[in-house]
Structure 1
Amino acid sequence: MKKYVEIPKNDVDSKVENAWFGTCRKNNIPFITLKSRTKLADVHWDYISYPTEVDRILKGLDGQLRDGAIAIFKKYADSRSEYTANDLLVWFKNLEIPKAKLAAEELYDLVAGYVERNRKSNQA
């Protein structure tokens, strides 16, 4: 299964990004994008594709998702890299492209895992 979309440099109208957003919303999966430059890439996740019930789950994580995301970032970052992270948004900047792809996959698994576990516990 596809865990993120690579946004082409020439996607000035955001067609690829918008199509991926629609896929994520339809399938209730994390909206993760990867934007590459020559050697570096940015990984971005935003909760906006999830329905309101998931917003409540994410807001109730008390920094757990943020801390997991930071651990992923530290695994792949170097001195040029930066991050922004909370339980609703994660942005890794300036990761080497192969490492950014791995980080995007791990970030997907992290977010999807929290959402799935908490949906099940809320239904129990």
Structure 2
Amino acid sequence: MAGEAERRLERQCADLGPHAALLLAEALAASRSGQHASVIILSAAVLDVALREPAGFHAGADGPTIAAARDSREAFWLRERRNGIVHYEGGRGGLMGEGGGALRHDAGRALTVLANALEELNRD
């Protein structure tokens, strides 16, 4: 799952604004090196920046398109998962020493959510 999402995101990187592109490159590097929590955190950050940065393909997106990318159930999941990592809220899957399976899975999901949202913003 992560491999396909990585390829989709690599194709979109050049079309992002400079801030989002930098964060996306770091998210992809983190994915390749198995830094699963970082992938989740950076994926959420890329989406936040891409929605606000005044450069990149999304700059011409209309309100409904932005809302679809920002407010989807999956985008909400991504923000919640990121918040569960950066703001300690009790034990969360993959963060309490029980192995990396849950975190690895969620990192792949985070990349897929991000790829879907960016593709939504880039629709013609």
| Global fold match (TM > 0.5) | no
TM-score by length of 1: 0.41
Return the structure number with greater strand share. 1
- Structure having greater relative contact order (Cα 8 Å, sep ≥ 6): 2
TM-score by length of 2: 0.41
